[in-house]
Chain A
Amino acid sequence: MSHIQISDDIVYRELDGSIVTLSLATGEYVELDLVGTRIWQLIEQDGRQSSVREGLLASFDIDEDTCDQELNAFLATLLDKGLIKVGT
């Protein structure tokens, strides 16, 4: 993954500090946790995966390996649910 975008058919709002998404394709709601919400905000700001990674490292007290593992796993989940799309 190099450039991440929120899928066109996803709408989202903040609820009690968490991002809640709703899919126009499936009608499925997804609520992101604290870290997921931060990643989502970073994607909104700059979809380059490297920028998201840097932002995540700056936001939480985690080492680079943990960050990479968790970010990759989370992005894979978002991709699987159709919440994001990726390009080069």
Chain B
Amino acid sequence: MPHRIQLTRSHTVFEGGESAIASWRAEYRRCHWVKWPGLIEPSLLALLQEKISSARFFDKTNVDVGDESRMKPEPTSAVLEFLTNDNVLFDVVRAITGCGPVGCFRGRVYRLLPNTGQMSDWHPDLSEGRMATLSINLSAEPYQGGILQFRENGGPNIVSQVANTGAGDGVLFNIAEGLEHRVTPLTGTVPRTAYAGWFLREPQFASLLRKRLEEAHATS
């Protein structure tokens, strides 16, 4: 059975059972990351990419990390939030990383533009109850550069790296005491667009969604 996890319009597909978890867990421990090809189902990805192509972005500085272009809130980001806040995905992440119960995934769509100095410099990401990071490549074309790299805090050596250039692919990666990561600047002409964020202990997404539904019902 193939090892696969995929977010579709109706549910999260997980194939491979314990074998997949064991393989991904070993890779995560060895490399600090695990890649999930085709995490977003292709026809859904195409719809998302179409929406993102006409979305508005604004410049955002992440203190001590770097600059990025961030997508303004719109239905596309709500859909990505809805898809990634999924109990099947949460269970898989917990089994791989050994983290505690996941309350929610909080992410944003952002873009790194080539030849602008935009990048994500070395940082640990350890704050606000973050337990692991997920980055999903939403770029419409393959980009160059933009490699995710890991090092021990302040150390000179890259201990691991991964290029997440496949459309719709996801990379789950480790944030831990003593570990830093960065995304290198782009070297070509194609921007890198991603949905990235963190699995958090709290709040509980189901509670947030219930509140939104009540608000929507109250105003309908």
A residues engaging B (CB < 8 A)? Answer: 6, 8-13, 15-16, 20, 22-31, 44
Contact residue among B48, B86, B210, B213 (Cβ-Cβ distance under 8 Å from A24)? B48
Across-interface contacts of A15 in B (CB, < 8 A): 206, 209-210
26 sampled A-B residue pairs with Cβ under 8 A: A6-B9, A6-B10, A8-B47, A9-B47, A11-B9, A11-B44, A11-B83, A12-B10, A13-B11, A13-B82, A15-B206, A15-B210, A16-B206, A20-B209, A20-B213, A22-B75, A22-B82, A24-B48, A27-B75, A28-B216, A29-B209, A29-B213, A29-B216, A30-B216, A31-B213, A31-B216
The 4 A-B residue pairs with the shortest CB-CB distance in the complex, in nearest-first order = A27-B75, A11-B9, A31-B213, A22-B82
The residues of A that contact B74 with a CB separation of less than 8 Å are: 27
Prevailing SS type, chain B contact patch: helix
Given A11-B44, A20-B209, check contact A25 B9 (CB 8 Å): no
Return the chain A residue nearest B81 by Cβ: A22
How would residues 12 to 29 of chain B score, 1 for a CB under 8 Å from any chain A CB and 0 otherwise?
000000000000000000
| 17 additional A-B residue pairs with CB within 8 Å, beyond A29-B213, A30-B216 | A11-B79, A11-B82, A12-B10, A13-B11, A15-B210, A20-B209, A20-B213, A22-B78, A22-B79, A23-B75, A24-B75, A24-B76, A27-B75, A28-B216, A29-B216, A31-B213, A44-B10
Q: Which residues of B contact A (CB under 8 A)?
A: 9-11, 43-44, 47-48, 51, 74-76, 78-79, 82-83, 86, 206, 209-210, 212-213, 216-217
Closest Cβ–Cβ distance, residue B162 to chain A (whole Å): 27
Q: List chain A residues, Cβ under 8 A from B43.
A: 8
Q: What is the chain B residue whose CB lies nearest that of A7?
A: B9
Beta-carbon contact of A10 and B78 below 8 Å: no
**Chain A's nearest CB lies how many Å from the CB of B6?**
13
A28 to B210, CA, bound (A): 14
